Structure 1
């Protein structure tokens, strides 16, 4: 038997991989258009591309990086909830809300990239993460 909270975790992992594919599909052609030759690059970092590629080509990459940041806390707290037997019902619903908000955040950042809109969605998703964390603390302490 499994905990319902595992489902939104898997969906967010899958979404992250979708954004990785989108980032590669956008960035590689932009690099080619900018005359960047992958065969000759040595020791660069992702932020170096911000200086040579159009911002729109970087937005999906930036979002992929964001999906490697705060969502790691989401995966950890969901795992605690699942292992403690508290990953069903309201906690699963809150987890789905977090995933939905992170997908909306991705879509905003990958398209219009309006910071105000992204920020509102980020704050809302952060509040769901706080709620999950409080519930996890109640479950294990």
Structure 2
């Protein structure tokens, strides 16, 4: 059984990805305003059609990193506090992070819908398995 603290590393990696997308969003928005492709008002209530596509993609990806990953952070904290981290859960946690990184890269570059869906679906599946394994172990 691995050290329980090891589950915090995939959480940190996913948080780093989220902060990287936040920084990318800031940089692209400032660039869009400076180049007069958009005005600050275009961001007031979300992204208008004037906002360049790459800005909208990064913004949507950032939002996505604040949705499903909430369940990832919760399961990791539960594993940590119950001291039920094991090798399988640790590998699954890293797999989830890898699939989310892949999803983000696809989303903000080529944005190929099928590839993005496959990466997202893989992440959802891994996360679901993490939750099931947690409760199976808890019930045992």
2:23 alignment partner, one of 15, 21, 24? 21
Asked if residue 76 in structure 1 is aligned to residue 74 in structure 2, the reply is yes
Asked if residue 3 in structure 1 is aligned to residue 1 in structure 2, the reply is no
> What is aligned with 2:37?
34
Matches within 5 A, 1:56-95: 56-95=54-93
How many residues in Structure 1 have an aligned counterpart in Structure 2? 136
- Secondary structure of the equivalent of 2:110? coil
- Secondary structure of the equivalent of 1:86? coil
The CA RMSD measured in Å over matched residues stands at 1.9
Per the normalisation by structure 1, the TM-score is: 0.88
Structure 1 portions without partners, runs of 5+: none
Asked whether the equivalents of residues 81 and 139 of structure 1 are also in contact (C-alpha less than 8 Å), the reply is: no
1:73-110 Cα distance to aligned partner (Å, 9 max, x none): 00001111111212231101100000011001001111
Per the normalisation by structure 2, the TM-score is: 0.88
Structure 2 portions without partners, runs of 5+: none
- Secondary structure of the equivalent of 2:83? coil
> What is aligned with 1:44?
44
How far apart are 1:43 and its partner, in Å? 9.3
Asked whether the equivalents of residues 7 and 80 of structure 2 are also in contact (C-alpha less than 8 Å), the reply is: yes
Question: Which of structure 1's runs of 4+ aligned residues deviate more than 4 A?
Answer: none
